[in-house]
Structure 1
Amino acid sequence: MTVWTEHLSRLGATLAETQTTAAPLPSVRFAAATDEARAASESTVVVPLLHLGIIRSVGPDSAAFLHNLVSNDVNKLPADGAAWNSFNSPKGRMIASFLMWAEDEGHGLVLSADILPAFLKKLSMYVLRSKVKLANASDTLALIGVCGKNAAAVLQTAGIEMPAADMRQTLTADGVRCVRIDAERYLLAVAADDAAGVFDALVAGGAVKAGTAAWQLSMIRAGLPLVTAPTQEEFVAQMLNYELIGGVSFHKGCYPGQEIVARTQYLGKLKKRMYRVAAAPGIEVVAGMDIHAPDFGEQSAGKVVNVAPTADGGIEALAVIQSSSAEAGQLRLGAGEGATLELLPLPYALG
């Protein structure tokens, strides 16, 4: 255990790891899943984001290096900016999705911890003669999420400098980086040795301690997906609504998979989109699980992307589904006779 996780344990946290198809995926909880989901719905919560990791890209060529590899325009990222981004296979399928921000000497990339080691290895293969160094900074930087209607007030009470707008960031003199995802969701990156003090200040400022699932539920309700090991290379960016949340630039130069992403945007109608769905209590749902619908018979009509428990014991999830199946509204989990899924609204239009 680290100083950070030992502090969380003293606060009553239960730490766990789930073995995915790649590396273990850490998680944390402070209370029952239903209670934490209720807190995420009714209060402002502070969450140790142990399920996420961070890669730092440092060097004079960092922007040019990343710009040539990822889906968004790194060269135009403001010094105080942040953006959703992705790295894709030559077939245009997402290998990793991440939140990227600019730093004085490079960039930070926040992604799912279970795919980080393999992704870092793959990314490093492209460095060659570029003046850039890539490193897993997850042991030296702790990530903390704050979400809820009073998130901004809690952060200000804790002495965190507030970003001016969505997808902007601040960096305090003592090294606390704050990224505003939207008005109700903020991500902090802080030196691991200082994380306990920042976390306690946020609790003192009015936030409720909550675990991984509370943050995941908030992100699902915001329609913000995260590629994890079970869903790697399953989706083209637009299937995950990535162009709708600002994760794709159609005006930059080439990058791996760019031709497929551009063709999907400009030729023909997109047949699959990401939707928000719900299942009743007692139904087990995991990322990568197939979704079926009558119009596709025994073939899969979709796949679960992210899932989190709700206050009533059910689940909410993001799922990529054939649009025709979603419009018909007869969605079932797993086999054709599986549990029924209910479509829920997203905070943005699918177009």
Structure 2
Amino acid sequence: MDWQKPFSPLKLASSDALPSLAVANLPSWSAITMVGDDKKSYLQGQVTCDVVTLDEQTSTFGAHCDAKGKVWSVFRLFHHNGGYAMFQPASIIEKELAELKKYAIFSKVEMAQTQEMALGVMGESATAFIDTLSSQGGDVRPIQGGTAVKIDAKRWLLLVDAPCAEKLVTESQAEKVSQELWTLYDIKAGLPLLNAEQQNEHIPQALNLQALGGISFSKGCYTGQETVARAKYRGINKRALFIVQGAAESEIDANAELERAVGDNWRSAGKLLASYRYTDGQALALVVLPNNLDLDTKLRLKDQPDHEWTFASLPYSLEDHD
């Protein structure tokens, strides 16, 4: 479609200011939508977040786990078109949707991957732009063709039908950028991302869900709850999501391996969940690592061993937020 052609990578150095208003098509993101009389009760019994108390003007992080507490999906949940939307990377949806449907045969609920488009609105002027689409307040707003969801002070997600997406993009004066800028915002915010290769590997606390309000420890039973509760009350979780930074002379592979220094040797520490490389060769990444590493631990990419990496500060505490 012609209107999608203008989205081009933003040539951004690590010292450059971000655009005051940019919009990105997000083709690597999608959502599972859920409708039906039993949608609330069914979802409540499947995921870590409290669906029952989620009002129509608020979104929440959540995770869907297997019986052992390993995460199939990390998502942002919000009310959408009379039902719910679970916004997440498109690469994990096929497996996640199959798992989510397993026990739905006895419930009045329909779920599917949406055909709608995801657009990311970014920058200092993002909220002012959203205000032109909706006169309502709140962090989740119905708009023509779909829903607008506030991510943070400088970012909104739009989940809308294709005609609405085309209209928004062609009529907007925002800079049209590719989805890498959205990834950069996610990394700098330390937001949990999961890709298909790392599905079913981590418990929710290893992705910092407890620090971001994505786990309710007071709701009823859900799949994997025993492991999640044990991680909290017995302190068995030994990993966390971190932001790391360093130099990279070439593009960084998906799921690139990060190593840590142990004496004079290097040992595997974890695989990157997401990364962003600036035009000046500086880079940022998200990675799950042991949560007891010293913050001065030396790190490096296994396939780019000439550059040392370091920890960057998370913009939030890793303590429980429930």
TM-score scaled by length of structure 2: 0.90
> Alpha-carbon deviation of 1:113?
0.9
Give, as a single letter, the amino acid of the residue that structure 2 aligns with 1:151: A
Q: Does 1:170 align with 2:137?
A: no
Is residue 13 of structure 2 the alignment partner of residue 7 of structure 1? no
1:277 and 2:244 are equivalent in the alignment: yes
Aligned equivalent of 1:88, options 49, 53, 65 = 65
TM-superposed deviation, 1:298: 5.8
For 2:208, the equivalent position in structure 1 comes to 241
2:218 aligned partner: 251
1:302 aligned partner:
270
Q: Which residue of 2 aligns with 1:142?
A: 117
Match of 2:101 in 1: 124
Is 1:160 the equivalent of 2:160? no
Are 1:264 and 2:234 an aligned pair?
A: no
1:186 aligns with 2:156: yes
> Is the Cα contact below 8 Å between 2:3 and 2:170 reproduced in 1?
no
Call closer, same or farther: CA 1:338–1:126 in 2, change over 3 Å: farther
Give the equivalent residue in structure 1 for 2:283.
315
Change (3 A) 1:232 1:45: same
User: 2:187·2:284 contact (CA, 8 Å) conserved in 1?
Assistant: yes
Deviation at 1:299, TM superposition (A): 4.6
Please give the residue correspondences for 1:97-108 in structure 2 after superposition, counting only pairs within 5 Å. 97-103=74-80, 105-108=82-85
Query: In the superposition, relative to structure 1, how do residues 197 and 338 fare at CA in structure 2: closer, same or farther (>3 Å)?
Result: same
CA offset at residue 214 of structure 1? 0.6
Partner Cα distance (2:288, 2:71) in 1: 13
CA distance in 1, matches of 2:279, 2:304: 27
| d(CA) in 2 for partners of 1:189, 1:121 | 22
Cα distance, 1:276 vs structure 2: 0.8
Q: Deviations over 1:152-181 (max 9, x none)?
A: 12333xx2226645xx20113x33411111
CA contact (8 A) 1:283 1:339 kept: no
Q: Tell me how far apart the structure 2 counterparts of residues 350 and 68 of structure 1 sit (CA, whole Å).
A: 25
2:313 paired residue number: 345
Task: Give the Cα separation in 2 of the matches to 1:214 and 1:188.
Answer: 15
Q: Is the 8 A contact 1:86 1:97 kept in 2?
A: yes
Residues 331 and 133 from structure 1, CA distance in 2 versus in 1: closer, same or farther, beyond 3 angstroms? same
- Contact kept in structure 2, 1:45 and 1:210, CA below 8 Å: yes
Is 2:87 aligned against 1:110?
A: yes
Structure 1 residues 58, 339: closer, same or farther in 2, change over 3 A? same
**Separation in 2, partners of 1:130, 1:211:** 39
What amino acid maps onto 1:343 in structure 2?
A: F
Partner Cα distance (1:260, 1:306) in 2 = 26
Structure 2 residue identity aligned to 1:318: L
Aligned to 1:17: none
Give the 5 Å matches for 1:32-51: 34-35=11-12, 41-51=18-28
Change (3 A) 1:234 1:299: farther
Q: Deviations over 1:236-281 (max 9, x none)?
A: 1111111111111111122221111111111126432211111213
Asked if structure 2 preserves the Cα contact closer than 8 Å seen for 1:283 and 1:314, the reply is no
Contact 1:34 1:313 in 2 (8 A): no
C-alpha spacing 1:37/1:97, structure 2 compared with 1 (3 Å)? farther
Change (3 A) 1:286 1:235: farther
TM-score for both structures, normalised by structure 1: 0.83
CA contact (8 A) 2:251 2:277 kept: no
Amino acid at match of 1:152: T
Q: Is the 8 A contact 1:60 1:105 kept in 2?
A: no
In 2, Cα distance between equivalents of 1:196 and 1:36: 29
Separation in 1 of the partners of 2:155 and 2:130?
11
Deviating more after overlay: 187-196 vs 308-317: 308-317
- 1:43/1:148 contact within 8 Å kept: yes
Deviation, 1:286, is 3.3
3-state DSSP of counterpart to 2:11: helix
* Residues 275 and 320, structure 1, Cα contact 8 Å, conserved in 2: yes
For the structure 1 residues 36 and 122, does the alpha-carbon distance in structure 2 shift closer, same or farther, using more than 3 Å as the test? Answer: farther
CA shift in 2, pair 1:247/1:120, >3 Å:
same
In the TM superposition, residue 338 of structure 1 has moved relative to its aligned partner by 6.0
Give 1:274's aligned amino acid.
Answer: L
Shift of 1:93: 1.5
